[in-house]
Amino acid sequence: MYVLSPNGSLLFEPLAKPWPNKPPKCSDCGPLFLKAYEMCNVGAVIHSHEMESCLATMINPSLKEFRISHMEMIKGIQGHGYYDELVVPIIENTAHERELTQSLAEAVRLILSLFRHMLLLSERN
């Protein structure tokens, strides 16, 4: 596992395995993960290429988000419960992960503004 500082400096890297193994390489997605930490003060970033995650983004290619509720796993996300609607932003892929940083930042800004709006509405009620 690689450990990076908040500014992206390498703090720890895994030991290389002997030949014929390739040396380990930090993910090209590092700038994306750091942007999430910077913007949201998140505790962890989970990155997935699972088939189900990819298929969920293809249900309706014109949508920029995936919405789901009534799922047991939603309870594991702080502030959410079984009956709550979870909104996951979908950003278009690019040839290189480093090119996704701007669109990730825009998606995070949108989600944060929606979340703040929802908090204001709930405080009024």
Cis-peptide into 20, omega within 30 deg: yes
Non-local (6+) Cβ contacts of 99 within 8 A are none
Helix/strand/coil for 11: strand
Give me the active site residues, please: 72
Q: At 112, list the tokens.
A: 């944060």
